C-alpha cells in the first residue's frame, strides 16, 4: 500500500527529472567500530536484500553505490586541448577496448571523462602512456588515471574541427536563475525549475565518484584494501552543482576481513602498531595520506591538514575537477546522516524541492556562507526543513524515531555508543496523504520559522516535535544521532535574528504575490521578477521599485499583519 502510494506520488511530481542524478548516489555500510565481523554479516544480508530488490526492478542505494564505484574504476580523466577532435580522440583510445561513455567539461582547461567497458582497457592505456619528456627530472614519477593527451600529427591542429560539447559543472549564476524563474508560469513551477537548475547532473555525479577513485589510488599505496566514498551533499540528494566533495576513507575492508580463530592449532595474526586512541590513529592516517596527496597527488593543490578539528580532515582543491575536497576518516556518524537525508529526499519529491529552494534563498541572502563562522550551515538548514515537514498536518515525512521502529535486524547500527539505527527499506514507510503544494509549503516554511519560539524550543527531527532547549545557544537543533550535541552551536544571535527577519519578509512577499505569473508580466523577453524570483533578490529591492512605493507598509505593520493572518489561520484550523 505504502509503496504504491509513494510511486503514484512520485509520478505526480515528475520524479524522472528531479531524481535523475540521485539514482546514481550511494549508501553506506552499517558498521560500528569494533563490530566489523557483525557488520560484514549485516552487509552481506544487505547485499542479498539489495540483489533481491534489483530483481524486482528496484535498485537499492547499496547497489547503486557499488555500481558507481565500479564505474569510476573503469574510468580515466584526460586533460585535452580545446581543439581536440572528438572522433580522433575516441578512435585513439578505443584501441585499448570499448568505450562505454564519455563527456567533456571545462575546469582550468578542458577535460574528458572516459569510461571503458572493462578495467583491462584502463590498464592497457596506462601501459602505453609516457612519462612527460619536458623537465623529466623535476617530475614526481607517480602514475595515476589522470592523463594528458597531445596531438603530434603533422596536420595543423588549429585547422581541425573540435566538435565536442562541454557539460557544465557549475551552477547557474543567481541573476540568470532569477530570469529563468521569472519566465515560469506558477510558483510551483519556479520551485521545480530551481531544483532542476541546481541539482547535480549525471556527469557531475560521475566526476565526484571518479575523484574519490583517483584519491583511493593514492591511499592504496598504504592501504590497498581501502575505499574512499563520497558523503554529504555530493550524494545525499541535496547537492548543488559546485558544492564541496566530502570524502570518507573507509578502512573496514581491511579490519572487517577478520578470519575466525581456530579452536586449536597454530594461528597467525598481523603485528600492528598501537596508538594512544582511535582519534590518534585517524590523525596519523590522515596526516600521512595528506602528505602523500600534497607531495604526489596530480592536480591536488592547497593541501591543508586540519587534524585537531573535532573531526580531523585533509582539505585541498582538486584542480582538474574544480572540486573543493574534504577527506575524513572514521566519520561514520556523518555517513549515517547522509544516508538519512537521502532517505528523506527519496520518500517524497517535495522534500528535495523545498530543501533546494530554501538553501538557494539562504545563500542569496548570506544566511549561509562557504566561509566557516556564526552562520547557519546547509546541514542545519536542511534539518530545519525536515523538521518543518514533520510538523505539517498530516506530516509529510516520518520522525527519526519512527524510522528506527521500522528497522530490521540488518539495519542495526550503533556508532560510538550512539544508536544510528533506521529502516533502509523505503517500502516499509507508510506516508500520510498530505497534498500541499510546493508554493503552500514554501510560504508556510517561512511563516513557521518567522514565529518559532527559538528562545525556548529546540528543533528535533528524532521526535518530530519541539523540545525544551537544553542549553542557552540562540539556535538549538539536536544532532539526529549524537543527541547530546547541537548541530547549530556555532550560530550567534545576530545570525538567527537575520534568519527570522528574512523569513518574515519572505513570507510577506510571497503572500502578496499571486500563485501564477501576473498578467502584465507575460509576453516580454525579460519579464520582471515575480513570486520566488522576488525573494531571491536582495531585500531592499525585493519589493520591485514600482510596487515598493505603492504597496509596501512599514516593517512593523507587515509583521503585525502577518501575525494577524497566522492567528486567523490557526483559528480556522481549530474550528
Ligand atoms: P554543502 O557542502 O554545504 O553543500 O552541504 P553538506 O551537507 O555537504 O555539508 P558539509 O559539507 O558541511 O558536511 C558534510 C556532511 O557532514 C553533512 O551532510 C552531514 O552529514 C555531516 N555534518 C555536517 N555538519 C554536521 C554537524 O554539525 N553535525 C553532524 N552530526 N553532522 C554534520
Ligand atoms: Mg559538503
pLDDT tens, position by position, 131-188: 887 666 778 888 999 999 987 665 545 555 555 677 777 778 888 899 999 999 999 9
Omega before 279 within 30 of 0, i.e. cis? no
- Please report the pLDDT score of residue 267 as a whole number: 85
Q: Which of 199, 326, 379, 382 to mutate to test the pocket of ligand 1 (most atoms within 8 A of CB)?
A: 379
Local confidence pLDDT in tens for the 575 residues of the chain: 333 333 333 333 333 333 333 332 233 222 222 333 333 444 444 555 544 444 443 455 677 788 899 999 999 999 998 777 889 999 999 999 999 999 999 888 899 999 999 999 999 999 999 888 766 677 888 899 999 998 766 554 555 555 567 777 777 888 889 999 999 999 999 999 999 999 999 999 999 999 999 999 999 999 998 999 999 999 999 999 999 999 999 988 777 656 677 888 888 888 999 999 999 999 999 999 999 999 999 999 999 999 999 899 999 999 999 999 999 998 889 989 999 999 999 899 999 999 999 999 999 999 999 888 999 999 999 999 999 999 999 999 999 999 999 999 999 999 989 999 999 888 899 998 999 999 999 999 999 999 999 999 999 999 999 999 998 899 999 999 999 999 999 999 999 999 999 999 999 999 887 767 766 666 666 778 899 999 999 865 343 333 333 344 444 444 444 445 444 444 444 43
Please report the pLDDT score of residue 48 as a whole number.
Answer: 52
**What does the chain come to in residues?**
575
> Please, are residues 480 and 462 in contact by the beta-carbon 8 Å criterion?
yes
Residues whose beta carbons lie less than 5 angstroms from ion ligand 2: 232-233, 244, 246
Best probe residue, ligand 1, of 170, 232, 344, 367 (max atoms within 8 Å of C-beta): 232
What is the pLDDT at residue 12? Answer: 32
Strands (E) located in 37-178: 75-80, 99-106, 110-116, 146-148
Angle at 346 between CA 190 and CA 338, to 5 degrees: 105
CB 295 within 8 A of CB 140: yes
Q: Which residue's CA is the nearest one to ligand 1's atom 15?
A: 232
Name all contacts of 225-229 with Cβ < 8 Å and 24+ positions apart. Answer: 225/251, 225/253, 225/254, 225/257, 226/250, 226/251, 226/253, 226/254, 227/69, 227/253, 228/327, 229/26, 229/28, 229/65, 229/69, 229/335
Identify the pLDDT of residue 520. 66
- Rounded to whole angstroms, the Cα distance separating 342 from 499 reads 25
Ligand with minimal distance to 311 CA: 1
Distance 244 CA to ligand 2 centre (A): 5
Instruction: Report strand pairing: 414-415 vs 418-419.
Output: antiparallel
Q: Where would I find the H helices in 56-201?
A: 61-73, 86-93, 119-128, 174-182, 187-198
pLDDT in the model for residue 220: 94
Neighbour-count burial of 514, counting CB atoms closer than 10 A to its CB (0-12 exposed, 13-18 middle, 19+ buried) = exposed
Cα–Cα dist 386/459, whole Å: 10
Task: Name the residue with cell 573496514.
Answer: 252
- Atom of ligand 1 at shortest distance to CA of 233? 8
Instruction: Please answer whether residues 387 and 395 qualify as being in contact, where contact means their C-beta atoms are separated by less than 8 angstroms.
Output: no
Ligand 1, residues at Cβ distance < 6 Å:
231-233, 236, 239, 243-244, 246, 333-334, 337-338, 377-379, 479, 487
Alpha helices for 114-270 (secondary structure H) = 119-128, 174-182, 187-198, 202-219, 252-255
Q: Which residues pair with 328 in a beta bridge?
A: 248, 313
Q: Which three cell numbers stand for residue 116?
A: 571503458
Residue 345 CA: distances (Å) to CA of 72, 199, 237, 413, 493:
24, 12, 6, 21, 30
Beta-carbon contacts of 259 under 8 Å, excluding residues fewer than 6 positions away, are none
Distance 363 CA to ligand 1 centre (A): 16
Separation of 162 CA from ligand 1 center, angstroms? 40
Calculate how far, in angstroms, residue 415's C-alpha sits from the geometric centre of ligand 2: 21
pLDDT score of 514: 73
Name the region of 114 (left: φ>0; alpha: ψ -120 to 50; beta: rest).
beta
Q: Which ligand is nearest to the CA of 368?
A: 1
Pairing of strands 418-419, 457-458: unpaired
Task: Enumerate residues 6+ apart whose C-beta is below 8 A from 270.
Answer: none
- Name the residue of 198, 231, 334 whose CB sits within 8 Å of the most ligand 1 atoms, as the mutation to test its pocket: 334
- Helix (H) and strand (E) counts for the chain? 21, 13
Alpha carbon of 422 to ligand 1 centroid (Å):
19
Task: Give nearest CA residue, ligand 1 atom 10.
Answer: 232
3-state secondary structure 508-530: HHHHHCCCECCHHHCCCCCCCCC
As to burial, measured by CB atoms within 10 angstroms (0-12 exposed, 13-18 middle, 19+ buried), residue 463 is middle
Output the residue whose Cα is nearest ligand 1's atom 21.
334
CA R_g for the chain: 26
The alpha carbon of 489 and the centre of ligand 1 are apart by a number of angstroms equal to: 14
Q: What is the DSSP letter of 473?
A: -
Is residue 312 within 8 A of residue 283, CB to CB? The reply is yes
Kindly give the distance from the C-alpha atom of residue 54 to the centroid of ligand 2, in angstroms, as a whole number. Answer: 29
Q: Tell me the C-alpha distance between 183 and 186, whole Å.
A: 9
* Grid coordinates belonging to 536: 531571491
d(C-alpha 62, C-alpha 51), whole Å: 10
User: Which one of 200, 246, 372 would you pick to mutate in the ligand 1 pocket, going by the greatest count of ligand atoms within 8 A of its CB?
Assistant: 246
Residue 145 to residue 213: CA distance in whole angstroms: 9
DSSP readout, 418-461?
EE------GGG---------HHHHHHHHHHHHHS--TTTEEB-T
Distance 334 CA to ligand 1 centre (A): 7
Q: Ligand 2 centre and the CA of 322: distance in Å?
A: 14
231 alpha carbon, closest ligand: 1
Task: State the cell numbers at 391.
Answer: 510538523
β-pairing, 245-250 vs 323-329, is: parallel
Measured in Å, residue 510 CA sits from the centre of ligand 1 at 29
Nearest ligand for residue 339 CA? 1
For residue 481, the ligand 1 atom closest to its alpha carbon is: 30
Sheet strands side by side (includes 75-80) = 99-106, 110-116, 75-80, 146-148
In whole angstroms, give the CA distance from residue 307 to residue 328. Answer: 10
HSE-CB of 249 using CA atoms within 13 angstroms: 30
Ligand 1, atom 32, residue with closest C-alpha: 334
List CB contacts of 461: < 8 A, sequence separation 6 or more: 383, 386, 387, 390, 399, 400, 478, 480
Going by CA atoms, what residue is nearest to atom 23 of ligand 1?
379
- The predicted pLDDT at position 139 comes to 82
Domains of the chain are 74-132+141-159 (3.30.70.330), 349-515+545-574 (1.10.1410.10)
* 528 φψ region: left (φ > 0), alpha (ψ -120 to 50), beta (else): beta
Interatomic CA distance for residues 209 and 214, integer angstroms: 9
Using alpha carbons, list the distances in angstroms from residue 381 to 360, 479, 572: 11, 12, 29
* C-alpha 25 to ligand 1 mean position (Å): 16
Amino acid at each position: 500500500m505504502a509503496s504504491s502510494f509513494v510511486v503514484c506520488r512520485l509520478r505526480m511530481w515528475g520524479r524522472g527529472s528531479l531524481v535523475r542524478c540521485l539514482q546514481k548516489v550511494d549508501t553506506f555500510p552499517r558498521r560500528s567500530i569494533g563490530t566489523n565481523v557483525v557488520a560484514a554479516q549485516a552487509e552481506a544480508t544487505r547485499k542479498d536484500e539489495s540483489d533481491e530488490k534489483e530483481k524486482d526492478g528496484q535498485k537499492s542505494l547499496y547497489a547503486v553505490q557499488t555500481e558507481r564505484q565500479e564505474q569510476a574504476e573503469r574510468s580515466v580523466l584526460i586533460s585535452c586541448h580545446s581543439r581536440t577532435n572528438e572522433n580522433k580522440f575516441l578512435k585513439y583510445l578505443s584501441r585499448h577496448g570499448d568505450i562505454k561513455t564519455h563527456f567533456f567539461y571545462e575546469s582550468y582547461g578542458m577535460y574528458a571523462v572516459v569510461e571503458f567497458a572493462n578495467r583491462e582497457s584502463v590498464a592497457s592505456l596506462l601501459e602505453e602512456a609516457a612519462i612527460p619528456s619536458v623537465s623529466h627530472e623535476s617530475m614526481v614519477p607517480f602514475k595515476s588515471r589522470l592523463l594528458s593527451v597531445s596531438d603530434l600529427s603533422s596536420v595543423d591542429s588549429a585547422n581541425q574541427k573540435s566538435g565536442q560539447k562541454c557539460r557544465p559543472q557549475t551552477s547557474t549564476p543567481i541573476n540568470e536563475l532569477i530570469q529563468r524563474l521569472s519566465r515560469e508560469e506558477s510558483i510551483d513551477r519556479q520551485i521545480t525549475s530551481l531544483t532542476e537548475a541546481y541539482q547535480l547532473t549525471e556527469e557531475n555525479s560521475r566526476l565526484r565518484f571518479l575523484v574519490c577513485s583517483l584519491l583511493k589510488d593514492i591511499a592504496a599505496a598504504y592501504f590497498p584494501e581501502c575505499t574512499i566514498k563520497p558523503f554529504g551533499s555530493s550524494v545525499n540528494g541535496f547537492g548543488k552543482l559546485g558544492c564541496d566533495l566530502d570524502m570518507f576513507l573507509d578502512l573496514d575492508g581491511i579490519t572487517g576481513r577478520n578470519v575466525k580463530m581456530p579452536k586449536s592449532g597454530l594461528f597467525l595474526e598481523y603485528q600492528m602498531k598501537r596508538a594512544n586512541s582511535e582519534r590518534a590513529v585517524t590523525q596519523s592516517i590522515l596526516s600521512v595520506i595528506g602528505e602523500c596527496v600534497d607531495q604526489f597527488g596530480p592536480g591536488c593543490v592547497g593541501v591543508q591538514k586540519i587534524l585537531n578539528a573535532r573531526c580531523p580532515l585533509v582539505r585541498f582543491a582538486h584542480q582538474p575537477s574544480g572540486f573543493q575536497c574534504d577527506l575524513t576518516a572514521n566519520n561514520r556518524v556523518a555517513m549515517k546522516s547522509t544516508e538519512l537525508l537521502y532517505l528523506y529526499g527519496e520518500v517524497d519529491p517535495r522534500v528535495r524541492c523545498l530543501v533546494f529552494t530554501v538553501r538557494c534563498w539562504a545563500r542569496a541572502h548570506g544566511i549561509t556562507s562557504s566561509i566557516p563562522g556564526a552562520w547557519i550551515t546547509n546541514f542545519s538548514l536542511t534539518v530545519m526543513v525536515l523538521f518543518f515537514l514533520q510538523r505539517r498536518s498530516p506530516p509529510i515525512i516520518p520522525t527519526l524515531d519512527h524510522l528506527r521502529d521500522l528497522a530490521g535486524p540488518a539495519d542495526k547500527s550503533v556508532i560510538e555508543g550512539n544508536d544510528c539505527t533506521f529502516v533502509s527499506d523505503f517500502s516499509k514507510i507508510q506516508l500520510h496523504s498530505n497534498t500541499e503544494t510546493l508554493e503552500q509549503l514554501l510560504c508556510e516554511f517561512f511563516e513557521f520559522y518567522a514565529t518559532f519560539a527559538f528562545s525556548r524550543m529546540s528543533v528535533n527531527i528524532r521526535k518530530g516535535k519541539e523540545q525544551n532547549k537544553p542549553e542557552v545557544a540562540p539556535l538549538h537543533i539536536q544532532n539526529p544521532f549524537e543527541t547530546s550535541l547541537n548541530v547549530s552551536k556555532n550560530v550567534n544571535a545576530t545570525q538567527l535574528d537575520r534568519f527570522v527577519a528574512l523569513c518574515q519578509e519572505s513570507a510577506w512577499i510571497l503572500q502578496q504575490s499571486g500563485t501564477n505569473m501576473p498578467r502584465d508580466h507575460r509576453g516580454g523577453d525579460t519579464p520582471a521578477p515575480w513570486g520566488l524570483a522576488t525573494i531571491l533578490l536582495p531585500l531592499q529591492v525585493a519589493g520591485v521599485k514600482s510596487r515598493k512605493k505603492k504597496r509596501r507598509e512599514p516593517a512593523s505593520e507587515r509583521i503585525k499583519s502577518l501575525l494577524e493572518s497566522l492567528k486567523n489561520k490557526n483559528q480556522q484550523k481549530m474550528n
